Structure 1
Amino acid sequence: MPSKSSARLAALTVAAVCSAASTVVLTSPAHAESVSIHDIQGTTRISPYAGKTVTDVAGIVTGVRTYGSSRGFWIQDPNPDADPATSEGVFVFTGSVPKVAVGDAVTVSGTVAEYVPGGAASGNQALTEITKPTFTVVSGGNAVPAATVVGARSVPSAYAPAGDAAANGSVNGLTLQPKKYALDYYESLEGMNVQVADTRVVGATDPFTELWVTVKPRENDNRRGGTVYGSYASQNTGRLQIQSLGATADFPKANVGDVLTGTTAGPLDYNQFGGYTLVANRIGTLKSAGLARETTEKQKKGELAVATYNVENLDPGDATFEEHAAAIVHNLRSPDIVSLEEIQDNDGAKNDGTVAADQTVRKLIDAIAAAGGPTYDWRSIDPVNNTDGGEPGGNIRQVFLFNPERVSFTDRAGGDATTAAGVTRTKGKAALTVSPGRIDPANAAWANSRKPLAGEFVFRGKTVFVIANHFNSKGGDQGLTSQYQPPARSSETQRALQATAVNTFVKEILAAQKNADVVTLGDINDFEFSGTAEILEGDGALWSAIKSLPKSERYSYVYQGNAQVLDQILVSPSIRKSCDFEYDSVHVNSEFHDQISDHDPQVLRFEP
């Protein structure tokens, strides 16, 4: 298997073991000790031998990793102890292709280290390893220790213990309880040969040759084969990442709902981007479930269809315009208004001061027309160069597309990157001071983040206010498998400020016109049950319409095998109370290995 991208390889680079930023540092030993693997692993997440030199650690090679920066091999003691909390396997980091083979009986000497993928600041758990090794192959062709079966019955339903308050919420020093907590169970198998059987895919194969399965097929399942993340206490314990020690070309291209039939087996690893990962030297046969991309209903003559779609860093050099156009025309059925997120400037990531995106938008509009859709018109505001986050030089922004045969846009001059849109009252109706305009762009809430785009539309004589959003990402949050339990979600702080700013603006509209139709939509980068959503909805000014769907259907994004909500359409009371609306999360991307964006578009149909 070839190397992954440099960002992902950095997470696996055990050269960082010598760095205090990514290694648990203990006092160096005075002498080497002869111990067994289960002694090294111990009964907590941190080895009692961390920082010490050990000699003649015996085991059978169960897997060899010859690619990337984390080259080395796993060994397992064929003579386990009686304690279920102590793993019998460990990774030996060599840094180069090791001259061992699966089935070799070896003795290893070296230094025990606790490597933290992503560095200590990530909050990730540590991976116990033997580093700077010398080893001797005693014999070859030995039977590999039988793989431990990981299944619905073996994985506990409780996810993780609460962290030790005296250790800032870390679980590292807690004695493992593998029969009580899922994360403790997986940790008790760290480095060991494990297997799963006939497992359903819940996270499609990604560009890094990874996929996710569940060993609990009924755990918060949805009708399309995924596993829904419906609350902070619903982490879904059956999820497990699958990588492979084989060639990239042999890795299955799987969609959600497919099944890896038969046995998938190999060492259990831990990495920055997935936590516990089965690194397979034997992978099951892919059985397709035939998952199809969804198509929403066409809006009726008197219905206004409003959609949000994150097109993932779209710029003129991309090859996905025809596919995006086909999705908008055929799967979304040509909505009247489309809020696009992540439209990049005319030269994409080239960091040369370009901020205009007219060529990007025009190319998409032309592709939509060529696919049989309407000739959309559009409105947007160019950002100040490199101030709105995203890919450096890309200058991502939100853009309104609208079908001028069905909808008109109310233009009011003066809106630009730094001018704040306001709300006035004219003839008893609310109106924007500038349209299109940005909401409070000088507010610190939008530092290095996209500013909301507000505009007035008229449909069949009725005004509809639409606010397109792209809140700051969840980058920097601790993962579900963090050593800190519950994990910290630091990115929420800025989104709370952003939600407050948008909610305040919506309330200004409703203060001017109580029955105003307001649609606030976009990539909110947070869940429908999150604090961000609560602030955005605040006091009933808005309501996230995805909550009109059954809980099992609430998702727009799949991350680490969890189907979850990031994209939302929120509506004002006049729309919600009418009860005459339809909401659809149109699954065309998130569940597929050949996705053109990692987000599913959302569509709302209603009669203003």
Structure 2
Amino acid sequence: MRHLPLLIAPLLLTACTPPVADTANAAPSDGAAAGSVSIAQVQGSGERSPLEGRVVTVEAVVAFPFGGLGGVFLQSETPDDDPATSEGLFLARPADAQPRLRQGDRVRATGTVVEAGEGSATLTTLEPTAVEFLGRGGKPTTLVLETAPAAASDWERYEGMRLAIATPLTVTGNDALGRYGELLVSFGGRLFAPTELAPPGAAALAIAAENARLMLRLDDGRRAQDPGTPWFLSTGQDDAHPLRVGSTLHGVAGVLDQRFGSYRLQLTEEIARVEQVPRPPAPDVQGDRRIAGFNLLNLFNGDGRGGGFPTARGAASQADYQRQQAKLVATVQALQPDLAALMELENDGFGPRSSLAQFVAALNAAGPHSDWRFVDAGDGPGNNPIRVGLIYRASRFTPVGRPATLADGPFRDRSRAPLAQAFRAGNGPVFVVAANHFKSKGGCDEATGGDADSGDGQACFNATRVESAERLHAWLATDPTGTKPVGHLVIGDLNAHAQEDPLRLLRAKGWQDAFALAKLERPYSFVFAGLSARLDHALLDPGLAPRLRGAAEWHANADEAGLFDYRADPDGDPWRASDHDPLLIGLDLAR
């Protein structure tokens, strides 16, 4: 859980400090005598204070009181001449402690220097035994930053200080906005996952270091979860002001904090101006047939009769499920595909009460087309709680032969079993679509051997994904549908970025990236931890690649905040219908 209090002595958080205290008799720590020092001396030039564990006395001005964070930030009125040492310090105290401190108050504080937090991401903190009010009228300096620091570690030199960012910041992650009142922002535009742009290893790690330098977390100055409408957005957050990833912020100011594993700017005033990125219309692609790929974010329908909630995944109630399905139906309507590969369907058979059957029924009922059908694989595919599926319009595609699945090797219990079906469009040739969903990057505690995170940027279970790619390629080469197709399309959530081993392996074996063929610049379908990348791919073999006419992603989901998902949004619109963006490709297949 993210918003836990800093690791400060419980006794401190409940004690009331007298209005005036005699600091001369403060008890030394570990035999060290209390001494008057500057905040810069307390901070030092490294990650941890050189005076950690010592009792010290500092005189400073209140830079900003954050009762919601369990203390106030102090700042020296007269900085030293060393730019590597911060002039700010966190003074831990409960909101009702006396004397009540306001911005600009001058104080003398005596206490023990501690590093609050875990690991190396700690906040230099003074746990006070005495706080004396010296007067009002102090003016803490605000340091103006024009650019990001030279290295991520250089944020340490600003810890506890008032900062104003004089350059626009780009929203690069908004997934924690509703839950914790946090935004990930960056200097210089959207940030991408390293292995989307470079092979794993040294090149990817260099991008990771640059991302860390450029990224900063904005916070609302509170520890409470689910804070409601962010106070620092003058317009609030609604359909007209969704604060999508890519939006630009001007006039950001606050105090630099370090807790919960990262530096963060605790905002002290509303953001002066927000340039909202508009929501994009559904894409169009050339070609006589359109094929979509879409991760449905755990579409579970309970028992299929309005009960059985909460489900193992997905919706917690029938009302949630209906809102979720309405958003997904709206997405398909807007994309206007003729065929779609679906991921994260409940693996509950193919009867009328199955999640897949009811989704297709909802599509047909919503219109404008009523000829949607689904591929019935008989059993499974696979025994995972979620599965892949294929749906198509009967007036646009005709299935040829029987579907085929693969449930051996990594598809037995990690990657979801792929589903392959041959189709024909009009008088065109037979071709095969293979829907896929490889093992995710989550659950690393269970990863062993080659699946353990090697630190090269590909996270855990990379070995399973590589084996999945190998098996999938070999399986399709055997013509599992028995239809002698002219070519194959591999489409779905491969849980690997474009430059990771599974995708590099498939390209080496002749598979061609639809988005590279379409010359799209820096495509992405997912945003995680402030980094954009692709998990969802469309790959064509040499028999099908010449028929590609276009490829697009609809950024209706990944850039949207969680406020607009089905749990909170009753509108039934496509925004944040899933956490993955759907992809759409156009091919000439009817002749």
Q: 2:257 & 2:518 partners in 1: Cα distance?
A: 37
Q: Which amino acid is the alignment partner of residue 48 of structure 2?
A: I
Quote the residue 1:216 is aligned against.
188
TM-score normalized by the length of structure 1: 0.71
Q: Aligned-pair RMSD on alpha carbons?
A: 3.8
Q: For the Cα contact (< 8 Å) 1:244–1:251, is it kept in 2?
A: yes
Judging changes above 3 Å, is the alpha-carbon distance between structure 1 residues 515 and 405 closer, same or farther for their aligned structure 2 residues?
closer
CA shift for structure 1 position 466? 0.8
Matched, 1:524 2:494: yes
Judging changes above 3 Å, is the alpha-carbon distance between structure 1 residues 61 and 376 closer, same or farther for their aligned structure 2 residues?
farther
Matched, 1:406 2:367: no
Quote the residue 1:437 is aligned against.
405
Q: Deviations over 1:236-256 (max 9, x none)?
A: 443322222377432433223
Q: 2:397 & 2:547 partners in 1: Cα distance?
A: 22
Q: For the Cα contact (< 8 Å) 1:345–1:356, is it kept in 2?
A: no
Q: For the Cα contact (< 8 Å) 1:37–1:87, is it kept in 2?
A: yes
Quote the residue 1:419 is aligned against.
none
Matched, 1:256 2:239: no
Quote the residue 2:373 is aligned against.
377
Which aligned pairs between 1:390-469 and structure 2 lie closer than 5 A? 395-409=385-399, 412=402, 435-440=403-408, 442-443=409-410, 447=413, 449-460=414-425, 461-469=429-437
Determine helix, strand or coil for the equivalent of 2:73: strand
Quote the residue 1:49 is aligned against.
51
Determine helix, strand or coil for the equivalent of 1:522: strand
Match of 1:207 among 175, 178, 196: 178
Which aligned pairs between 1:23-38 and structure 2 lie closer than 5 A? 29-34=30-35, 35-38=37-40
Judging changes above 3 Å, is the alpha-carbon distance between structure 1 residues 541 and 548 closer, same or farther for their aligned structure 2 residues?
closer
CA shift for structure 1 position 491? 5.9
Which aligned pairs between 1:334-353 and structure 2 lie closer than 5 A? 335-344=337-346
Which aligned pairs between 1:115-130 and structure 2 lie closer than 5 A? 115-116=116-117, 120=119, 125-130=120-125
Identity %: 22
Matched, 1:268 2:256: yes
Which aligned pairs between 1:171-570 and structure 2 lie closer than 5 A? 181-197=150-166, 199-203=168-172, 205=174, 206-208=177-179, 209-217=181-189, 230-231=197-198, 232=204, 233-234=206-207, 235-236=210-211, 237-245=213-221, 248-249=228-229, 250-252=231-233, 253=237, 254-261=243-250, 263-272=251-260, 275-289=262-276, 291-297=278-284, 300-301=287-288, 303=289, 305-316=290-301, 317=317, 318=320, 319-330=323-334, 332-333=335-336, 335-344=337-346, 358-369=353-364, 370-379=366-375, 382=380, 388=384, 395-409=385-399, 412=402, 435-440=403-408, 442-443=409-410, 447=413, 449-460=414-425, 461-473=429-441, 488=455, 492-510=459-477, 517-537=487-507, 539-548=508-517, 550=519, 552-570=521-539
Q: 1:384 & 1:603 partners in 2: Cα distance?
A: 26
Matched, 1:9 2:12: no
CA shift for structure 1 position 358? 4.6
Give the length in aligned residue pairs.
496
CA shift for structure 1 position 95? 6.5
Q: For the Cα contact (< 8 Å) 1:241–1:278, is it kept in 2?
A: yes
5+ residue gaps in structure 1?
1-6, 19-27, 157-180, 347-353, 389-394, 413-434, 478-485
Q: Which amino acid is the alignment partner of residue 256 of structure 1?
A: V
CA shift for structure 1 position 38? 1.9
5+ residue gaps in structure 2?
12-28, 199-203, 238-242, 302-316, 446-452, 565-575
Quote the residue 1:171 is aligned against.
none
Q: For the Cα contact (< 8 Å) 1:500–1:536, is it kept in 2?
A: no
Q: Deviations over 1:561-582 (max 9, x none)?
A: 4332222222223233x16332
Quote the residue 2:74 is aligned against.
75
Q: 2:554 & 2:9 partners in 1: Cα distance?
A: 42
Quote the residue 2:567 is aligned against.
none
CA shift for structure 1 position 291? 0.8
Q: Which protein has the larger Cα radius of gyration, Structure 1 or Structure 2?
A: 2
Q: For the Cα contact (< 8 Å) 1:306–1:603, is it kept in 2?
A: yes
Q: For the Cα contact (< 8 Å) 2:436–2:494, is it kept in 1?
A: no
CA shift for structure 1 position 272? 4.1
Q: 2:433 & 2:141 partners in 1: Cα distance?
A: 63
Quote the residue 1:423 is aligned against.
none
Q: 1:384 & 1:466 partners in 2: Cα distance?
A: 14
